[in-house]
Structure 1
Amino acid sequence: MKNSIAIRREDLNKKGEKRVAVIPELAKTIIEAGHNLRVQSQKHPETNENKRAFSDSAYADLGATITEDIAGARVVIGLKEVKTEYIAPNTTYLCFSHTHKAQIKNREMLRTFKDRKTTLIDYELMVNADKARVITAFTYFAGYAGMIDTLWTAGQRYALAGQLHPFAAIPQSIETEDLNIIKKLIQDIGTHISENGTPDDLPPFINVILGQGKTSTGAQEIYDILPVENITLAQIPEIYANGDRKKVYKCVLGITEMFRLKAAASLPAHTYAALTIPQKESHYFQHPSDFESNLQAILPYASILMNCILWAPQFPRLLSRTFTKAQWEQHQTLIAIGDITCDPEGSIEFSQETWIDDPVFIYNPATNTSTLSMEGQGIAVMAVTNLPCEFSADASTEFSANLSPYLPGIIAANYEASLENSQLPEAIQKAVILWNGEFTPRYAYMQDYL
């Protein structure tokens, strides 16, 4: 089936956003398949701001029409949430909608999608037969940019305190937008650390990474460019006391180390202790109320903390305000948190969204206050909500590669038929939240959000 396809430009409220789901190379396949393709200009008409990493001419040269008017397109391909005034009726939208976990900020958008009888397909929910996400490119790039920006934050905080640290030479990712350039710079800094060490008046640099998924993997790939020694949770106090300044340290924690069994848990402590790690993880997911944060074991020693875990309200927090205040009163070693997952008031209760142009806030546990700044008393928190767009071109290229196997089925589907008869690939059908204005059975629970 031939459909009219449009690639939308991201909205102005998405600061610094220049990523695109379909790069010119992939757009070529849409045109070659006989579909009409309209592309909104990379320049926003109100501000002339560049909102896409790839030029208009790169699409126009392939035969796409560059136009502001994408009304009437049957399928609109974007990335982030869509402002309600731009949602056209009886249209299919592909985006990261951030609605399936009851996100309050996007309920009006979800309601508008429904009221205007649209079809909503969410990239985050595209999974294969093994229930693994098929769109993962941005996850790795969030790890890359998050790690770089957290090291940059730490370096700036040290500099503000009058401490000359090698990390002060690391720029924020957006300053170069070239991953290879920053990797080479970090490699040079690593050589400097190997030869000269980090400052003697600071403790050994210990990076504790929470989580073992793709975001964590991306963060580790960047950090491992440095002269890194991997350590266990049990080794942290000794490394803090006697570690080598000519290297940096990394401790990656899984679920069974991030969280501990409560004293009043439904499962006796001796029974839990006898379980294997997979069995302990299974109990955590089935009985999250049995657990509490175990981060008191690392907060006295960690220089930075990287939060790379997925979180939902039924699970315990890693850092509540009360818990963090109690720890801060005893130890103030932690200089920065990289909250890559950026769930406001989530696993880190005091976290809040920041943007590339103002990426850091200072949280003061003693007063329970936050200030959007690099300066001030407390913990610097880097919580940029759209980290991958600091490497917009690279991230978009990887994203398109992930999307490529599924795109022919998406653009040729019959959106007038039932979902079952639409010919959408199975992985994409699983990601359909709304079908012509009605919640699909998989997401019927979301009706309660409206």
Structure 2
Amino acid sequence: MVAKIAIRREDKNKWERRVPITPKHVKELIAKEGLEVVVQPSKIRAFSDQEFEQAGAIIQEDISQCPVVFAVKEIPEQHFQAKSSYVFFSHVIKGQSYNMNMLKKMMALRCNLFDYEKIENSAGRRLVFFGRYAGLAGMIDTLWSLGKKLQSQQIDSPFNDIKKTVEYTNLDEAQQHLKDIGQLIRDQGVPTSLAPLVVGFAGYGNVSKGAQEIIHLLPVTEIAPGDLAELSENYSRHTIYKVVFKESDMVEPIDQKKSFSLKDYYDSPENYQSCFYQYLPHLSILVNCIFWNDSYPRLITKAQMKVAYADQTKLMVIGDISVDINGAIEFTEKSTSPDNPSFMYDPAAEMLYDDLDHDGIVVMAVDNLPCELPLESSLEFGDALLPFVAEIAKADFSLDFEQLQLSQETKGALILHNGELTPNFRYIEKYL
């Protein structure tokens, strides 16, 4: 019997044009693994129906008879089929309340659920992700936000010509434009009132690496967090200063008699507090790329930002790529969209404005950044996912969980097996 998979049409919003498996990957799965691939038609997908058809896929609306369905975003409850298997970003592993009804529905239908986010190696590092593209797109939108902030202050700068990520035809065009702007900075420098222009990156994972790729299209000088205070005494207008913050820079033990321990921090985050406030006076842009949940201390609170703003901090823009609502950046009270990436936060009044002409800190908070680069992000994601597709498609899910013929990486991503939470995810029961 030929194993069959479906690629679902994304319908969460008009911006979601990504696919988990591209025509290139479909062709390989058919030729090398003997799979049958059904693709739901879409008018907005980054790859056309014709491209999928030419790769050997069957284009049809009805995918209800496909035992395994791949998607990117969450699937509406009415589309789940009994005893079928689904692979997508489910956003349930933190017990997210907005997806618990979806999970309950899948459990009632005895579905199998794999989450890309939990396909990890033995060291716990994710193997299939869009994170780099969140960083790439988020950094472009953050620099666009800087340009808009400067325009509102009637400050002419090279950043004023930067476009939103979605306004570029593709990543290559965006990168070339930023290289051209980088040359202007080398030749003319940034405005005197902005120098030294310092971009701080909170975090150093895949998202941060993507964001740093973009900033390195400009002239960059990297400095350590400990050197920030002295930078104002000796700097150049013809470079951007980059600083990357690790955990030991951002938090400290509440008990001042203890020293920082990375393992202890992740084991017992409640014993730590943020010490990031000390850097705010020195940053022009902060790019937040850290993983956060409510067990961790916030990076910046509203109270801290209010004090820093009153002290005339030079901080102009926060690129909150992680976008945890009221999370690491407490005043990220809402997410934004690709066509309107930023809002203005007035720390003094603790007010948010969609109009960037107000006083305050510009916050870029697009919560679905990789969809702004759908072609490139889908290709790279598909490359990473490809090794796991066939084993999921060919698995016999009637077997007990312990007997499933799946690799360690794939089995570790199985949240539901025949409608039951698997051992590593039984903690989710308390959220249901």
Whether 2:275 is the aligned partner of 1:294: answer: yes
**Does the CA contact (< 8 Å) of 2:35 and 2:390 recur in 1?**
no
Whether 2:249 is the aligned partner of 1:257: answer: yes
State the Cα distance separating 1:177 from its structure 2 match.
4.0
Q: Which stretch of the first structure deviates more once superposed, 319-328 or 95-104? A: 319-328
SS in 2 for 1:201: helix
For 2:402 and 2:65, the matched residues in 1 are separated by 24
Aligned residues: 430
SS in 2 for 1:285: helix
Corresponding position of 1:47:
none
- Paired amino acid for 1:77: F
- CA displacement, residues 248-273 of structure 1 (integer Å, 9 cap, x when unaligned): 100101001111233xx2xx53x41x
Whether 2:108 is the aligned partner of 1:115: answer: yes
- Paired amino acid for 1:290: N
| Equivalent residue for 1:341, pick from 322, 329, 333 | 322
State the Cα distance separating 1:241 from its structure 2 match.
4.8
| Equivalent residue for 1:181, pick from 173, 176, 194 | 173
- CA displacement, residues 55-93 of structure 1 (integer Å, 9 cap, x when unaligned): 101111233221111112100000111122222222111
For 2:398 and 2:3, the matched residues in 1 are separated by 11
For 2:82 and 2:336, the matched residues in 1 are separated by 32
SS in 2 for 1:404: helix
SS in 2 for 1:299: helix
Corresponding position of 1:237:
229
SS in 1 for 2:232: helix
Whether 2:37 is the aligned partner of 1:37: answer: yes
For 2:228 and 2:36, the matched residues in 1 are separated by 59
**Seq. identity, %:** 37
Whether 2:408 is the aligned partner of 1:426: answer: yes
- CA displacement, residues 106-154 of structure 1 (integer Å, 9 cap, x when unaligned): 2222222222221110000011222221113x11111111111101110
- CA displacement, residues 381-400 of structure 1 (integer Å, 9 cap, x when unaligned): 11111111111111100001
Distance 1:315 1:404, change over 3 A: same
For 1:309 and 1:292, the matched residues in 2 are separated by 15
Whether 2:171 is the aligned partner of 1:172: answer: no
- Paired amino acid for 2:66: A
TM-score, with length taken from structure 1? 0.92
Q: Which stretch of the first structure deviates more once superposed, 148-157 or 422-431? A: 422-431
SS in 1 for 2:113: strand
**Does the CA contact (< 8 Å) of 2:46 and 2:374 recur in 1?**
yes
- Paired amino acid for 1:8: R
- Paired amino acid for 2:21: V
- Paired amino acid for 1:421: Q
Corresponding position of 2:26:
27
- Paired amino acid for 2:22: I
For 1:290 and 1:437, the matched residues in 2 are separated by 37
| Equivalent residue for 1:75, pick from 59, 68, 75 | 68
Corresponding position of 1:46:
none
For 2:100 and 2:304, the matched residues in 1 are separated by 31
Q: Any unmatched runs of 5+ in structure 1?
A: 44-49, 273-278
**Does the CA contact (< 8 Å) of 2:7 and 2:69 recur in 1?**
yes
For 1:416 and 1:302, the matched residues in 2 are separated by 56
Corresponding position of 2:124:
131
Report the RMSD for the aligned CA atoms in angstroms: 1.6
- CA displacement, residues 347-369 of structure 1 (integer Å, 9 cap, x when unaligned): 11221222212211112222222
SS in 2 for 1:164: coil
Distance 1:241 1:104, change over 3 A: farther
Q: Any unmatched runs of 5+ in structure 2?
A: none
| Equivalent residue for 1:93, pick from 62, 81, 86 | 86
**Does the CA contact (< 8 Å) of 1:200 and 1:245 recur in 2?**
yes
Whether 2:141 is the aligned partner of 1:145: answer: no
Whether 2:65 is the aligned partner of 1:65: answer: no
Structure 1 consecutive aligned stretches of length 4 or more whose deviation exceeds 4 Å: none
For 1:421 and 1:2, the matched residues in 2 are separated by 22
| Equivalent residue for 1:281, pick from 240, 257, 262 | 262
For 1:321 and 1:210, the matched residues in 2 are separated by 18
**Does the CA contact (< 8 Å) of 1:358 and 1:373 recur in 2?**
no
Whether 2:336 is the aligned partner of 1:354: answer: yes
**Does the CA contact (< 8 Å) of 2:306 and 2:347 recur in 1?**
yes
State the Cα distance separating 1:191 from its structure 2 match.
1.1
- Paired amino acid for 1:196: Q
For 2:174 and 2:25, the matched residues in 1 are separated by 27
State the Cα distance separating 1:23 from its structure 2 match.
0.3
